[in-house]
Amino acid sequence: MKAAYALKIDSKLRDRVREFCESRGIQHGFCVERALQQYLEHEELLEDTKDLKRLKPEEAFAIGLSTYLARRHA
């Protein structure tokens, strides 16, 4: 399902997006939607990377899933 999303952006950026889309035959909405998706994915990847770095010292204490499940049901 699609929903409208209004926001205010710098007019120069709006013009750049408009020219970019028109020169490539891309719909403005598709371009902006895709850019937002990519931005969110990038930010989530950065968060995941930070978590991995933060949790790296605990890796030595990790156990396998089968071991965990066996202990849990014991």
- Joined together, the tokens standing for residue 38 give 């990519």
Give the contacts of 28 (CB within 8 A, at least 6 positions apart): 17, 18, 21
pLDDT of residue 27: 96
pLDDT above 90 (res 23):
yes
Q: How far apart are CA 18 and CA 65, in angstroms?
A: 51
User: 3-state class of 63 per DSSP?
Assistant: coil
Cβ count near 43 (within 10 Å) = 10
Q: How far is CA 72 from CA 55, 61, 63, 68, in A?
A: 23, 17, 12, 6
What does R_g of the chain's alpha carbons equal in angstroms?
22
Whole-model pTM: value is: 0.70
- For residue range 29-74, what is the model confidence (pLDDT) as tens digits? 999 999 999 999 999 999 999 999 999 999 999 999 999 999 998 7
